[in-house]
Structure 1
Amino acid sequence: MNKTMLALAVSLLVSTQGCSDSAPTPPSKATESVAAAVVEKTASQQYLDMVDAFFNEQLKLEPIYATFVGVNDYNDQFGGSLTEEYLTQRHQLNSRYFELAKSIDVSQLTPSLKLSYDMFVYDRNMELIGETYPERFLPINQFYNTVFTMVQLGTGESAQPFNTVQDYKNWLSRLRGFIKWISLAQQRMDEGIASKVVLPRVLVEKIIPQLDAQLVDGAKNSLFYSPINLMPDSFTADEKSELAKEYQGLIDNELLPALTQLRQYVSETYLANARASDGWWGLPNGKDWYQHLANSHTTTTLPVDEIHQIGLSEVARILSEMDKVREQVGFKGDLSEFFASLSSEPQYFFTDKQDLIDGYMAIKDKINAVLPQYFDVMPKADYIVKPVEAFREKSAAGASYQSPAVDGSRPGIFYINTYNLKAQPKWGMTTLSLHEAAPGHHFQIAIKQELTDVPQFQRFQGYTAFEEGWALYAEYLGIEMGVFSDPYQYFGKLSDEMLRAMRLVVDTGLHAKGWSREQAIQYMKDNSPMAESDIVAEVERYMAIPGQALSYKVGQLTILRLRADAEKALGDKFDLKGFHDQLLTTGSLPMAVMENKIADWIKSESAKK
């Protein structure tokens, strides 16, 4: 995901969207108290107080984010999101704490808090830089948007709790805030039209049927009515009746009309003003904006031209490995014919959706049996496998991961898209499980949430380069774990790695080199056995969230380099479990910060007798 679906959905929901100039707001009482404590406490305590104060202010400003991280104090609030007041408050939050961090004597921090400090300052700086670009003019796209997030929350199967009568009333209040957001999103898109900051036409066309899916005949047919069908038995008959009436009234009289208006605006106004260019280069200052997004997602300073060249080199290497598999299994045709065979012959696909889900459960058991040989630290939370919901399966990725509830009440979820079984080959299942579930996203994200000795913000902050780099490293680790004994499953690993390598070429091609959507699709068809429907979804994803797809391969290559450095430096002292502990037990870090951590670990291990 994937940044993972939940992590990226939430990050997009609370992402830096740029704000207009306005008068500074005064520091909050929390900020003033932290500043006053600077002269009275140790540097470590100063830092912990500062980041806790920041985190609490951030949760108040971002109430839906608070819900996702398990803080339920703001479950009745939607948040200002696109309002000028919100944009100004977020700017002031980041700038105040960026300045406040400078008052802390970093040399006096503990080693772990130095890492945390570097992460905190990096975040504030990148957020402030991001404000110089007008992302607020692009409030929705076909891949991730607030409408999707609210639908998921409203099903009663996500982070929003529906256990008490007050929980149900909280959701009604949050829905009213969402209805206001729908109107404001249209205003921001109008501003985007005036500024020529709009989505490509093909992406706008994909949004329309997604909105159509929500325009049902009456509240009782809406997914937003789902909580009413899940009311606990402890509710009285009067409570159930009153809530049902309130939900039906709000959905029929306010929500469905608002969504209908949004659909009409997108199809009649926005579509007519969508742009013909497919990449970010077609936007005002688009190439500079894209370089920033590439830096932000990869947490590196790599120029996009260099990333493009790395991708070309990796594609060539992986194609050579794929050809070796073709020879090993005795396939007589060339590699393109091998691709065609793997993508079309019936024996490589399930015909029943439940059989696909059951197959992933069997792989889960196989992988779980060998994990203790490679990890000392493993998540307490389990994960389950389930199909992607029907309302988003047509445009969702082939698979994704949603983190477990912070309080342990809900396991992680490994989502499989069963919409098109021809896009889910059997030979791709092992590597997909390693990546999305264990020891990929599930390990990294669940362990991060379960940490007790790091600041709160560190438990929930994420960097795509590390999280997706780790998940792709987990695929590589599968070779050592012995789960790729079947050459076809190993080909699946190469196929997925090829996807991440092609992303370096295609993402930079689209956004920096003027490639068209069709050119990008053809490149991926020429170099992989992926189903065309998957390729189209992938390319349109890169068009919608530029730079994010670069982080997978860049992150993996960085982790592999760090491991090679450690193995070379430590020799017989190198402990693979210990290396994995170093990567997983401080949360998600920018790659430069992780490099410093591993360098310090190597020094520490080298000094041991």
Structure 2
Amino acid sequence: MVLRWHVLAVSVWLLVGCQAGLDRGAAPPPRLADLVRGYDRETLPYFPFTASELGLQQYDRVLANDIGAAYRNGLRDICTRYRDDLRRVDPAGLSGDERVTYDVFTFRVETCAAGFAFPWYLLPVDQGGNSWPSRFPIVGSGRGQHPFKTARNYEDFLGRIDGFVTWMDTAVANMREGIERGITHPRVLMERVLPQLDAQIVDEPDKSLFYEPLRAFPASVDAETRARLTAQYTDAIQTKIVPAYRRLRAFIVTEYLPRCRDSDGFGALPDGRAWYAHAVRASTTTTLTADEIHEIGLAEVARIKAEISALRAEITAAGESPPPRFRTLDELLAGYAAVRASVDAALPRLFGRLPKAGFEIRPIEPFRERSMPSSYVAASVDGSRPGVFYLNTSELRNGGSAGVYRNLYLHETVPGHHLQLALQRENRGLPGFRRFGGFTAYIEGWALYAESLGVELGVYPSRWDRLGMLSAELFRANRLVVDTGLHAKGWTRAQAMDYLGGATPGTQLEVERYMAWPGQALGYKMGQIKILALRRKAEAALGSSFDVRAFHDEILRDGALPLDALEAKMDRWLAAARL
């Protein structure tokens, strides 16, 4: 996962004094606050969309070529240099807040520097919606990170189109290098990419998603400017965007697919076991091995299956009917709106602080719904763009029906991703790399934990709702087994789907996601396990004095943290609470 961070209102901290006993000629150790400020400043150009959100207009025309050699070499130098400088800081004298920053910063730069040992840039395009060929049309349609509120916004995006074309051509060059080095995606994944590319290859510019902003000019843009911008966008679609998609598609079909690997896991790649071990470390933020996580997954699967079996028996004995399903999008969205009202009313019982930013619920666009699950995109910093819960409504296709998944709502919105990420991004006291960075295990672990809060919030009114929650938890526990099975134990795609219950569109989508994004799926359950353990520890230690609102507020107060840093912070909080 590409993480973005930036500079803004870095906190003024207590400064770390020089260590006693240094030789007179030795350079004094760097101060933590200085390192953080420098790191935020130097990394800013590498994440131009985040910089734009801050109002730094010099980045508004930039789309970083994050798979290019100059980008990689520059960021590697920054991470390595700050890693070495940070190792000279003595953490013993740091305050509590400083120690949190030190722990997060250490994990960030150590993991960043180590990651450059592995050629991720040779695998720039995937089917899961995480690379620019599928992301950029959303941005260009006006539903993403780039605003279209002024004439300048429109003009700036033309610069980002140029950056996108450079990225696409670099992707082809990198994938060609990957062929020569024996580092390619599995063939089946690239076959899934082709329909996504085809959706952007249009004969008429006004059929392109990139034409959409031209249908909704703000009133401040006069007729002459509208005509000029329409001509420029039409030309860019015809001469830049569509040709870039055509070049990538032609390369994949004629050169890449015939030489894609037939294996499914990262273990088959050169140095693949070490590569996957790094992915596990980065995703889980723990030192657990793939084998250890696999065993944890097997145990969790057995436990949850037993709970599901018992609950199903209760449902049968009670004769409880399943919740209704809906056949139209309007009905489905109305169902989610009703859940939203119930959750909003109950949230203050469990949380003392709630975010200011709002969110919307939107269906995923048809061109990417086949390969993209429901997901969340964070709100903009300035409040101009709300968070978005993208809902996969493919079940409604061809006369089908869809249900309202209450646990999914809790996961993606509140008290899950939206609540956590909005609070983090609204916290101006955090250094930039913490305010806009993140860790999968914390972010996804919190969201999975949030699903369990549906019981306390009173929004699981039936046993069927609780069954949905347990089924979703089982789904995440299965990931511990399947992801490690694929990448560390030599499982095939077919074996992975069999473990999940057989070859269905759903299991295919999930297994292929794990194949493209190794390790990421581990963070959900590992993070949830840690947060649940911290809550049980606090409940046992504080007894009747335990305040769930205070516990949640403290978990969320400092934004996303590596799990070890979170545990250390919560131990300090618990010790203070017991005084």
Instruction: Tell me the TM-score normalised to structure 2 length.
Output: 0.92
Alignment partner of 1:316 out of 296, 302, 305: 302
Q: What CA distance in whole angstroms lies between the structure 2 residues aligned with 1:80 and 1:206?
A: 24
Q: Is the 8 A contact 2:280 2:519 kept in 1?
A: yes
For 1:563, give the aligned amino acid. Answer: R
Label 1:539 to 1:254 Cα distance change in 2 as closer, same or farther (>3 A): same
Secondary structure in 2 aligned to 1:216?
A: coil
**Does residue 356 in structure 1 map to residue 332 in structure 2?**
yes
Alignment partner of 1:421 out of 392, 396, 399: 396
Secondary structure in 1 aligned to 2:361?
A: strand
Shift of 1:87: 1.4
For 2:456, give the aligned amino acid. Answer: E
Secondary structure in 1 aligned to 2:362?
A: strand
Q: What CA distance in whole angstroms lies between the structure 1 residues aligned with 2:152 and 2:394?
A: 36
Aligned to 1:532: 504
Aligned to 1:475: 451
For 1:491, give the aligned amino acid. Answer: L
Q: Deviations over 1:31-71 (max 9, x none)?
A: xxxxx9998xxx99943343233222212123234346665
Q: What CA distance in whole angstroms lies between the structure 2 residues aligned with 1:70 and 1:200?
A: 41
Q: What CA distance in whole angstroms lies between the structure 2 residues aligned with 1:84 and 1:470?
A: 35
**Segment of structure 1 superposing worse, 545-554 or 573-582:** 573-582
Q: What CA distance in whole angstroms lies between the structure 1 residues aligned with 2:192 and 2:226?
A: 37
Aligned to 1:449: 425
Aligned to 2:133: 147
Q: Is the 8 A contact 1:349 1:421 kept in 2?
A: no
Alignment partner of 2:350 out of 350, 354, 374: 374
For 2:96, give the aligned amino acid. Answer: P
For 1:416, give the aligned amino acid. Answer: L
- Structure 1 residue runs of 5 or longer lacking an equivalent are 1-7, 15-35
For 1:273, give the aligned amino acid. Answer: R
Aligned to 1:559: 531
Q: What CA distance in whole angstroms lies between the structure 2 residues aligned with 1:179 and 1:417?
A: 29
Q: Deviations over 1:439-464 (max 9, x none)?
A: 01111100001112221221111001
Secondary structure in 2 aligned to 1:415?
A: strand
For 2:98, give the aligned amino acid. Answer: L
For 1:112, give the aligned amino acid. Answer: D
Alignment partner of 1:603 out of 548, 552, 575: 575
Aligned to 1:133: 118
Secondary structure in 2 aligned to 1:396?
A: coil
Q: Is the 8 A contact 1:52 1:457 kept in 2?
A: no
Aligned to 1:26: none
Shift of 1:379: 0.9
Q: What CA distance in whole angstroms lies between the structure 2 residues aligned with 1:584 and 1:453?
A: 14
For 2:79, give the aligned amino acid. Answer: N
Alignment partner of 1:51 out of 30, 36, 41: 36
Q: What CA distance in whole angstroms lies between the structure 2 residues aligned with 1:308 and 1:55?
A: 36
Counterparts of 1:212-251 in structure 2, within 5 Å, are 212-251=198-237
Label 1:245 to 1:37 Cα distance change in 2 as closer, same or farther (>3 A): farther
Q: Is the 8 A contact 1:44 1:109 kept in 2?
A: no
Aligned to 1:431: 407
For 1:122, give the aligned amino acid. Answer: F
Aligned to 1:167: 153
Aligned to 1:262: 248
Q: What CA distance in whole angstroms lies between the structure 2 residues aligned with 1:579 and 1:69?
A: 31
Alignment partner of 1:158 out of 144, 153, 162: 144
Q: Deviations over 1:264-313 (max 9, x none)?
A: 11111110011111111111111121111111100001111111111111
**Does residue 513 in structure 1 map to residue 498 in structure 2?**
no
Q: Is the 8 A contact 2:65 2:166 kept in 1?
A: no
Cα RMSD over matched residues? 2.4
Counterparts of 1:182-193 in structure 2, within 5 Å, are 182-193=168-179
Q: Is the 8 A contact 1:305 1:508 kept in 2?
A: yes
- Structure 2 residue runs of 5 or longer lacking an equivalent are 6-14, 19-27
**Does residue 179 in structure 1 map to residue 165 in structure 2?**
yes
Secondary structure in 1 aligned to 2:376?
A: strand
**Segment of structure 1 superposing worse, 360-369 or 106-115:** 106-115
Q: Deviations over 1:399-454 (max 9, x none)?
A: 1111111111222111111122389753x611111111110111110000111222
For 2:146, give the aligned amino acid. Answer: Q
Shift of 1:523: 1.3
Secondary structure in 1 aligned to 2:59?
A: coil
Alignment partner of 2:380 out of 405, 417, 423: 405
Secondary structure in 2 aligned to 1:300?
A: coil
**Segment of structure 1 superposing worse, 64-73 or 312-321:** 64-73
Percent identity of paired positions between Structure 1 and Structure 2:
40
Q: Is the 8 A contact 1:318 1:494 kept in 2?
A: yes
Alignment partner of 1:549 out of 497, 521, 524: 521
**Does residue 284 in structure 1 map to residue 260 in structure 2?**
no
For 1:413, give the aligned amino acid. Answer: V
Secondary structure in 2 aligned to 1:510?
A: helix
Q: Is the 8 A contact 1:503 1:550 kept in 2?
A: yes
Q: What CA distance in whole angstroms lies between the structure 2 residues aligned with 1:129 and 1:175?
A: 32
Q: Is the 8 A contact 2:16 2:32 kept in 1?
A: no
Secondary structure in 1 aligned to 2:326?
A: coil
Q: What CA distance in whole angstroms lies between the structure 2 residues aligned with 1:106 and 1:308?
A: 34
For 2:341, give the aligned amino acid. Answer: D
Q: Is the 8 A contact 2:332 2:402 kept in 1?
A: no
Aligned to 1:576: 548
Q: Is the 8 A contact 1:48 1:455 kept in 2?
A: no
For 2:163, give the aligned amino acid. Answer: G
Q: Deviations over 1:88-113 (max 9, x none)?
A: 11111112222232344433432112
Shift of 1:223: 0.9
Q: What CA distance in whole angstroms lies between the structure 1 residues aligned with 2:427 and 2:138?
A: 26
Q: What CA distance in whole angstroms lies between the structure 2 residues aligned with 1:570 and 1:71?
A: 46
Q: What CA distance in whole angstroms lies between the structure 1 residues aligned with 2:249 and 2:401?
A: 31
Size of the alignment, in residue pairs?
558
